[in-house]
Chains A and B, each alone.
Chain A
Amino acid sequence: MHPAPSVILFTVLSGLGFGLLAFLGMGLPDVSGGVAFVFFFLGFALAVGGLISSTFHLGNPKNAMKAFSQWRTSWLSREGCVSVAALILMGIYAAGVIFFDVKLAQIGWIAAALCIGTVFTTSMIYGQLATIPRWNHPLTSAYFLSLSVAGGALLAGQVKAAGVLLLIAGGVQIVTWMSGDKRFAERGHTIETATGLGDIGKVRMFEPPHTGTNYLLHEMVYVVGRKHAQKLRMIALGLMVVLPAALLLIFHAGHMLALVAVLSHLAGVMVSRWLFFAEAEHVVGLYYDKR
């Protein structure tokens, strides 16, 4: 799949933002006034900034309001509804904490749950697609959720918890890669099943239907840059998990080191998310004999 920068940015930033908001909603850290303002501002900026950048991917954004209507069947629509509910409730909770020094704990908890729910709906947009076997698995949700929670803990300054959650996210990432590598073959999609010609013999592409490129090839048959995948995986894991976890758990990072941990984590998640798209193979590639 084409790793569109707007979608990478959206999923990474909003994942982090909703993770942070979830911790704030649970009263971790227990802040109020100006400090709370800074924390909530960061959380909202990341979450909303991410949501806005996702609209850059749309061909016709003027209809965006209609995207709230089909929550009965569409995960994308559900994502829209849940994220708005999460932001509104969290806004109420934040206003209480910042301006009135009151903690509406129940609202905070519900808002936190909705934040996690938003990340889950995002993950299901990808996880539901049977056409992309690498994504079509509960591990996709585990990958998004574990990263969001770990990143949220990191931003919320929960040093111990963040260290442990990062290690968990790293483990989930490794399992996701390993099982994802095998899934296309496991599902049994081949050029023979795609064409139905397997009964006659071995099938290969003879001539493509068009000499130039098209939307399908550009969007779904992205093959460039995969050859560095193994190296990029190592880089992603190192920046996203190993370095920040080491800083937190071994060096008990203070403010400066914590900043390094956050930036390293952010860069690592970007690389990981780039790979998430670039390595995902769509079955339509079979009709073009490329994946």
Chain B
Amino acid sequence: MTQLPAQTERKLGLVIDLDTCVGCHACVISCKGWNTENYGEPLSDKDAYGANPSGTFLNRVHAFEVKPDTGPAQTIHFPKSCLHCEDAPCVTVCPTGASYKRTEDGIVLVNEKDCIGCGLCAWSCPYGARELDQVAGVMKKCTLCVDRIYNENLPEEDREPTCVRTCPANARHFGDFADPDSNVSKLTRERGGMDLMPEQGTKPVNKYLPPRPKDTMEEIDILAPLLAPVASEPKGFLGWLDKALEKL
């Protein structure tokens, strides 16, 4: 059913820390792996070993450069996947009811059995979070690893999205935004978590933590005065050489 729930019991989603992401793409690979081996159609590749490889991914890491008015430019690695929006336009445009948002936890999913592969949902997503699989012909998107987070066959510590589990820099956090005391709610509050393209009105659940301001090193070198160069002009032989060379 493509009518959006007025409210969901829980709001599961991710916090992505742009300060700590090192751009290693480990989350991209683990996502591709898990979602090829599990839920729904595998994420296909075309011409994987040829000259023009391309494939379906549910998570991609961009990299941007930001140049402040003063000071050096910063590089920011920028993972991007479905933000499980509260006002998800991708759900309401779907003609078949294949796209839906779950009332219990707010996860946005595609029922691949119903999808006709019209691609309209991908057109309606501002964030490029949906890709039509070129082999299966159905729409693929992040499932928030719905087949991990509730999976009692997995050890407790693995019951989170595979990107979160994999991230070596701890730049990805998973939790319930409806609970003000959850880790993700706290992080969002403390670090000023933000929405991407808020002017699109999609109300994303996932939040991005902006890079922390760069600090500047203060001069606190107590030995510096003692080590200052005593003679600024060379003397003796060196002084003579210096003058002689100058005259040449």
Contact = CB atoms under 8 A, between A and B. Distances in A.
Interface string B107-145: 000000111111110111111100111101111000000
A206 B126 contact: no
Interface in A193-235: 193-197, 199-210, 212-216, 219-220
A209 B122 contact: no
Nearest to A77: B95
Nearest to A69: B97
Interface in B125-178: 125-128, 131-134, 136-139
Interface string B17-39: 01000000000100000000000
Contacts of B113: 63
B80 interface: yes
B197 A66 contact: no
Interface stretch (B61-69, B179-187, B215-223, B236-244): B61-69
Contacts of B123: 1, 129, 131-132, 219-220, 282
Given A128-B93, A212-B52, A197 B66 contact: yes
B74 A67 contact: no
A176 B128 CA distance: 26
Contacts of B3: 72-73
B95 A80 contact: yes
A37 B95 CA distance: 34
Interface stretch (A54-62, A153-161, A249-257, A267-275): A54-62
B64 A203 contact: yes
B94 interface: yes
Given A131-B124, A199-B210, A213 B54 contact: yes
A230 B195 CA distance: 37
Interface in B193-208: 194-201, 208
B2 interface: yes
Contact of B128 (A199, A213, A287): A287
B54 A196 contact: no
Contact of B64 (A69, A188, A195): A195
Interface size class of A (residues with CB under 8 A): 35 or more
Contacts of A70: 1-2, 94-97
Nearest to A289: B64
A209 B62 contact: yes
A203 B95 CA distance: 37
Nearest to B54: A212
A92 interface: no
A75 interface: yes
A266 B220 CA distance: 77
B64 A206 contact: yes
B127 A188 contact: no
Contacts, number: 204
A53 to B, nearest CB: 14
A131 B80 CA distance: 17
Contacts of B40: none
Nearest to A71: B95
Given A58-B118, A284-B126, A284-B128, A197 B89 contact: no
A125 interface: yes
A73 B92 contact: yes
A8 to B, nearest CB: 15
B222 to A, nearest CB: 34
Given A67-B95, A74-B92, A193 B117 contact: no
A283 B126 contact: yes
Nearest to B28: A209
A284 B69 CA distance: 26
A205 B195 CA distance: 19
Given A73-B2, A73-B92, A196 B194 contact: yes
A83 to B, nearest CB: 12
Nearest to A4: B119
Most buried by B among A61, A219, A220, A287: A287
Contacts of B57: 210, 214
Give the 3 A-B CB pairs with smallest separation, nearest first.
A59-B117, A59-B137, A77-B95
21 contacts: A59-B133, A61-B116, A61-B117, A67-B116, A67-B118, A70-B1, A70-B96, A74-B94, A80-B95, A131-B124, A132-B123, A194-B196, A195-B196, A197-B64, A204-B64, A206-B65, A209-B28, A209-B80, A215-B122, A219-B123, A288-B62
